[in-house]
Structure 1
Amino acid sequence: AFSHEDQIQVLEEEIARLRANIRRIPFIDEIDLRYRQHQKQPQPATSAVMFCLMDVSGSMTQMHKDIAKRFFILLYLFLKKNYKKIEVVFIRHHTSAKEVDEEEFFYSRETGGTIVSSALKLMKKIVESRYPPSEWNIYAAQASDGDNWNDDSPVCSKILAESILPLVQYYAYTEITPQDHQMLWYEYEKIMERFPNSFAMQQIADPGEIYPVFRQLFERKAA
């Protein structure tokens, strides 16, 4: 297994490759994303916040968590290199959600069941209390193995559609599993149909797919 230092070195090499190709596959630098839907007008790049949501329930194996950690480290390091000022909010969840610091987000271990809506509700609460959309560009990335209480998946869809997506510039969901999709994926597919320009989703089955999926999720959306 990679040490923390090895992971950082690998991801910094990935970032260097991203920066070399920035003209061909732009990221969200300068917040130059234009959507036909909602017609959001971005605020200055210095007023950006990125929400990182990660499932840490018992169904998330160590392999799942390692992939999620590497995905978020890549995202975090890229944002730090491309924005002069940016705030990152880390939210971990199992049956309940908690805002944590970087260290706890990446390295603390949890067990138990899964209620994904707990993370979405906490994100909504934090946005309302600290990040008014009139002053902040809001982005979010969520990582999960797709396992969730079935009764909760429609709740997630409702929260996203009514309370989160109208406020954010972009929301990306990554499902980390080689297995068949579960209810959460199918609920999120409905969301993607309704919000094709501000919501995207991809599946990751092994570590080799992290960089391609990262690039696909955050490439520029053409007008």
Structure 2
Amino acid sequence: MSRAIDRDSQRFKKIVRGKIRDDLKKYVTQGEMLGRKGRETVSIPVPNIQIPHFRHGKKGSGGVGQGEGDEGQPIGKGGRPGEGDGPGTAGNEPGRHIREVELSMEELADMLGEALALPNIQPKGKDEISSTKDRYNSVRRTGPDSLRHVKRTYKRALKRSIAAGEFDPRNPVVIPVRDDEEYRSWTTRPEPQANAAVIYMMDVSGSMTDEQKGIVRTEAFWIDTWLKKQYGGLQRRYVVHDAVAHEVDEDTFYRTRESGGTRISSAYAACEKIIARDFPPDQWNIYAFQFSDGDNWGEDNADCLAKLTGGLLPHCNLFCYGQVESPYGSGDFIRELRRVESDHEQLILSEIENRDAIFDSIKDFLGTGR
């Protein structure tokens, strides 16, 4: 019985995950996961799934399709009010339910990789450093008192006492001697750690509406999910900017609402500062993602290109610019970037017209495998 229940449970989980995989684009574009993100898992709302099964009717109630009927008469479920589709009286039956299904972030990343056919990333340069980790997985006969293995020491003393005929069940006192003592011991082994840093930059100026900012946050969530799958030691930094850039924490990045003019070079300067401070390019794989509506102060474009080509692109595995279409932004900045795109293979550009374009934009950015 227990095995049958386990099989049914595994089958049900497989069906649910298949449903999520089939509808993944809907979840990606609509931001279903935002607000449900946990430390290691995420809850996804999916329609309740009924496993097909037989249900017996009442004895003598007749079969399906029996009885007289007129041409064009709708077929209901037993002919009772409130059942079936179409007009009718108010019903008292439960409606369609939603089930919260928990998936690990790794499962989610696998689904994304399959849906977009994303290649695994090939790190550049010195992508790994070795750290050491001690594991207490053995015992030895010498050591400090703080590591004495009390249970094993007592068992050795008890065995010795019984073998020597010194053990008295009526007075079961066992006193370990030096030869009885055992101590916990450890082995030290190197553990490779992939060094990867992601720097997100988002335009929060007045021309970026809440809808555009929502698109950015949704896409950043999925990019993050994939990169964490590829790198075990992912570090993230966040920059928001209007005319001035500010480094913020993750929560502020996903929630902030500001206004003002736009000077994109301020974000590039903040990104350069973060790299110089925290991520030596010869030891880190660096990914920069910038999102804006492309409405930049005209005199700032030359400074942006100088900072990008001279200070950022040489140090980044990828520098991805996503331009979100806005009713208020000019959208001119992507044309400036196209002037240097052919000279820098790590520069990836993507135009994001609406939420439906998020899926393809992620493919643009991560499909290179860099």
* TM value normalised by structure 2: 0.52
Deviation at 1:20, TM superposition (A): 3.0
Q: Which moved more, 1:184-193 or 1:143-152?
A: 184-193
- Aligned match of 1:202: 350
Alignment counterpart, residue 69 of structure 1, candidates 200, 217, 224: 217
Alignment map for 1:39-118 (pairs within 5 Å) = 41-44=125-128, 46-118=194-266
Deviation at 1:182, TM superposition (A): 3.6
Q: Which moved more, 1:114-123 or 1:208-217?
A: 208-217
1:162-187 deviation digits (Å, cap 9, x = unpaired): 11111111111000006796431121
Write the letter of the residue equivalent to 2:311: S
Q: CA RMSD in A?
A: 2.6
- Aligned match of 1:17: 111
Seen in structure 2, the aligned counterparts of structure 1 residues 96 and 27 have a Cα distance that, compared at 3 Å, is farther
Alignment map for 1:58-207 (pairs within 5 Å) = 58-177=206-325, 182-195=331-344, 197-207=345-355
Seen in structure 2, the aligned counterparts of structure 1 residues 185 and 21 have a Cα distance that, compared at 3 Å, is closer
Q: Any stretches of 5+ residues in structure 1 without a counterpart?
A: 32-39
CA contact (8 A) 1:59 1:147 kept: yes
Cα distance in 2 for partners of 1:6, 1:43 equals 32
Deviation at 1:14, TM superposition (A): 6.4
Question: Is the partner of 2:342 in helix, strand or coil?
Answer: helix
Q: Which structure: greater helix fraction?
A: 1
Write the letter of the residue equivalent to 1:17: M
Seen in structure 2, the aligned counterparts of structure 1 residues 2 and 73 have a Cα distance that, compared at 3 Å, is closer
Write the letter of the residue equivalent to 2:119: P
Cα distance in 1 for partners of 2:258, 2:270 equals 18
Seen in structure 2, the aligned counterparts of structure 1 residues 19 and 217 have a Cα distance that, compared at 3 Å, is closer
Cα distance in 2 for partners of 1:60, 1:162 equals 28
- Aligned match of 1:37: none
Deviation at 1:63, TM superposition (A): 1.0
Cα distance in 1 for partners of 2:326, 2:231 equals 34
Write the letter of the residue equivalent to 1:151: E
Higher gyration radius (CA): 2
Matched, 1:211 2:295: no
CA contact (8 A) 2:195 2:231 kept: no
Question: Is the partner of 2:125 in helix, strand or coil?
Answer: coil
Cα distance in 1 for partners of 2:361, 2:225 equals 16
CA contact (8 A) 1:144 1:174 kept: yes
Seen in structure 2, the aligned counterparts of structure 1 residues 21 and 66 have a Cα distance that, compared at 3 Å, is closer
Count of aligned residue pairs for this structure pair: 211
- Aligned match of 2:35: 5
CA contact (8 A) 2:127 2:195 kept: yes
Deviation at 1:25, TM superposition (A): 2.7
Deviation at 1:211, TM superposition (A): 1.2
**Amino-acid identity (%):** 29
Question: Is the partner of 2:280 in helix, strand or coil?
Answer: coil
CA contact (8 A) 2:119 2:369 kept: no
Q: Any stretches of 5+ residues in structure 2 without a counterpart?
A: 1-29, 46-102, 129-192
Cα distance in 2 for partners of 1:26, 1:141 equals 19
Cα distance in 2 for partners of 1:27, 1:117 equals 32
Cα distance in 2 for partners of 1:142, 1:27 equals 22
Relative contact order (C-alpha < 8 Å, sep 6+): which is higher?
1
- Aligned match of 1:35: none
Cα distance in 2 for partners of 1:174, 1:27 equals 21
Alignment map for 1:31-42 (pairs within 5 Å) = 31=123, 41-42=125-126
Cα distance in 1 for partners of 2:282, 2:230 equals 22
